[in-house]
Amino acid sequence: MPERAPFTTHEVENQVPPLEGRNLFEDNAPLVEALEREGGGWARERAREVGAAWGADPIRWGFEANENPPRLKTFDRYGNRIDEVEFHRAWHDLMGLALSHELHSLPWTSSRQGAHAARTALYLTAAQAEGGFACPITMTFAAIPALRAQPELAARWEPRLTATEYDPVLRRVGGSESDKRCALCGMAMTEKQGGSDVRANTTVARALAGGRGEYELTGHKWFCSAPMCDLFLVLAQAPEGITCFALPRILPDGTRNAMHLQRLKDKLGNRSNASSEIELHGAWAQLVGEPGRGVPTIIEMVGHTRLDCVIGTAAGMRWGVANATWHAAYRRAFGKRLADQPLMGNVLADLCIESEAATALAMRLARAYDEASHDERARDLKRLATAVGKYWVCKRGPGHAFEALECLGGNGYVEESGMPRLYREMPLSSIWEGSGNVMALDVLRALSRGAGGGWSPAGLPRRARRVGRRRSAARRVRRVAAHAVRRP
């Protein structure tokens, strides 16, 4: 009789080895090709390093940071208000690696053409391991072009917002601004009565004496993610109308600004990241851009955030494909590997095509961001394709994640596979910064303002007809184009 350990009734067979220790960039052939094609080929080696790094420990950190979500500490043990959020060590590890790889800063610090394409490839690689940390990374990245509307503020904050050494120690009351090597930036626009319609904001801005662009903000924000950021771009009602402000969490003299954390959201996904509700009780803030021009000022931040929603979703799709194909390559059913079962081949092919398309779109979009400063057509494409891409790619994300999860069968439904976390994360990119309908309306707005190389809603049928006539277009694309002509 062979010796068996107690309670062992069987050999474990036909289970799939863990998907670990892979290079998340090199494994992703469509991304490798797109990096060359879209002008970021010079970052190839960096992307390989990032791929190797994020395919190792960060996958475990992602699990740990989600199993140990952030905790709000409103008061200290003596009853003093502290308004702090405590994170697990794994969260700080993720943030530290992200900053060291310049996911938040590369296009703002590099003078090389193709820096957006390079950063997109790095971000799309890293965000496969975990999605939550990407929120403050994106907001910090996206804040820079908006902050540049106020050059003296940008000069003061940009060096720290683009710094690559993460400082996990909160800058506590009493410290000076120079204590901290790096800074992170969040955004606070959404209020209880409306998020899409920010013109309905009720937070009030009162100008302080002296005319130096200093204000006091009073009101609330219903969603304010990553509340441990050092700076927030906030919309509030000034006498001239909705205006954009820069609000530091800790004031220049080291005291805490009057920004109070009410509670943290209990969210569907994105649980490693803290999203808070806040109140501003006469909080000190500085003007960004012109009074009354808050929406056009913050739109730069919004646009770059929407770009990252596309990239982040493409990253999630890629991770779904990696897990589904890995599983199907090892798991056997009915005498064959799952990957060799014809129907499973169809499912995997559909998943791959959708993921590759999202990657190609994200990278092409990044190139438009690279070229927009000197090319009018790129500027039009950036404006239009950000809205279309944010709508389409992010809307497809949850369904894609579900199909990938199902490829793993019951194992995919279990938390340890990571697939439930991916599935729960996916709807966020569609909701955040312009939910589906809002993006659809934004496409019309872009067209009516002439973006898309002179496109207009009225000109859409002509454009669609042209696509429909292209011999190279797949039959399905031609059919959709014909449909668009009938019902523009």
Ligand X SMILES: Cc1cc2nc3c(=O)[nH]c(=O)nc-3n(C[C@H](O)[C@H](O)[C@H](O)COP(=O)(O)OP(=O)(O)OC[C@H]3O[C@@H](n4cnc5c(N)ncnc54)[C@H](O)[C@@H]3O)c2cc1C
Would you say 224 or 250 has its CB closer to ligand X? 224
Tell which one of 56, 431, 460, 467 touches ligand X (CB under 6 A): 431
Query: Could you give the C-alpha distances from 114 to 118, 346, 358, in angstroms and in order?
Result: 6, 35, 19
For residue 283 the two structure tokens come to: 């909080």
Would you say 107 or 186 has its CB closer to ligand X? 186
Applying CB under 6 A, does 190 fall inside the site for ligand X? yes
In angstroms, what is the minimal distance from the CB of 437 to ligand X? 3
Calpha distance 457→422 (Å, rounded): 36
Which residues lie below 8 Å from residue 357, measured CB to CB, with a gap of 6+? none
Applying CB under 6 A, does 437 fall inside the site for ligand X? yes
Which residues lie below 8 Å from residue 155, measured CB to CB, with a gap of 6+? none
Tell which one of 438, 467, 482, 485 touches ligand X (CB under 6 A): 438
Query: Could you give the C-alpha distances from 122 to 29, 318, 351, 363, in angstroms and in order?
Result: 14, 13, 22, 11
Query: Could you give the C-alpha distances from 249 to 148, 155, 338, 394, in angstroms and in order?
Result: 20, 18, 53, 31
Calpha distance 142→361 (Å, rounded): 19
Tell which one of 258, 435, 459, 478 touches ligand X (CB under 6 A): 435
Would you say 300 or 356 has its CB closer to ligand X? 300
Tell which one of 120, 140, 225, 429 touches ligand X (CB under 6 A): 225
In angstroms, what is the minimal distance from the CB of 431 to ligand X? 5
Under a CB-based contact definition with an 8 Å cutoff, are residues 132 and 57 in contact?
Answer: no
Tell which one of 146, 428, 451, 464 touches ligand X (CB under 6 A): 428
| Residue nearest ligand X by beta-carbon distance | 195
Query: Residue 59: CA atoms inside 13 Å, Cβ hemisphere, count?
Result: 21
Applying CB under 6 A, does 196 fall inside the site for ligand X? yes
Applying CB under 6 A, does 433 fall inside the site for ligand X? yes
What totals of helices (H) and strands (E) does the chain contain, helices first? 16, 11
Contacts of ligand X in 16-55 (CB under 6 A)? none
Tell which one of 115, 188, 311, 322 touches ligand X (CB under 6 A): 188
Tell which one of 189, 247, 362, 405 touches ligand X (CB under 6 A): 189
Would you say 420 or 468 has its CB closer to ligand X? 420
Q: CA 451: distance to chain centroid?
A: 24
Tell me which stretch binds ligand X (CB under 6 A): 5-13, 157-165, 278-286, 436-444: 436-444
Calpha distance 17→329 (Å, rounded): 10
Which residues lie below 8 Å from residue 187, measured CB to CB, with a gap of 6+? 139, 142, 143, 224, 225, 232, 233, 234, 298, 301, 305
Applying CB under 6 A, does 85 fall inside the site for ligand X? no
Contacts of ligand X in 439-458 (CB under 6 A)? 441
Would you say 372 or 440 has its CB closer to ligand X? 440
Applying CB under 6 A, does 166 fall inside the site for ligand X? no
CB-count exposure of residue 357 (10 Å: 0-12, 13-18, 19+): middle
Applying CB under 6 A, does 430 fall inside the site for ligand X? no
Element (H, E) at 263: strand 259-264
Would you say 390 or 463 has its CB closer to ligand X? 390
In angstroms, what is the minimal distance from the CB of 11 to ligand X? 44
**Burial readout 177-188 (b: 16 or more C-beta within 10 A, e: otherwise):** beebebbbbbbb
Applying CB under 6 A, does 432 fall inside the site for ligand X? yes
Query: Could you give the C-alpha distances from 307 to 140, 222, 378, 399, 433, in angstroms and in order?
Result: 13, 23, 14, 20, 10
Applying CB under 6 A, does 204 fall inside the site for ligand X? no
Contacts of ligand X in 232-291 (CB under 6 A)? 267, 270, 275
Tell me which stretch binds ligand X (CB under 6 A): 181-189, 206-214, 291-299, 411-419: 181-189
Positions that interact with ligand X (CB under 6 A): 186-190, 194-197, 223-225, 267, 270, 275, 428, 431-433, 435-438, 441
